[in-house]
Amino acid sequence: MEGAEEAGEEIMVDSKDLQKQSKALDKLTDRVEDRQLDSSRVQSKELASVKINAADVELIVNELELEKNVVERTLRENKGDAVAATMELLSRYPL
Instruction: Compute CA distances 10 → 1, 2, 62, whole Å.
Output: 15, 12, 69
SS3 state at 25: helix
Residues contacting residue 90 through CB under 8 Å, at least 6 positions apart: 64
Whole-prediction pTM: 0.58
Report pLDDT digits (tens) over 42-67. Answer: 778 888 899 999 999 999 999 999 99
**Model confidence pLDDT, tens digit, residues 5-23:** 555 555 555 788 888 888 8
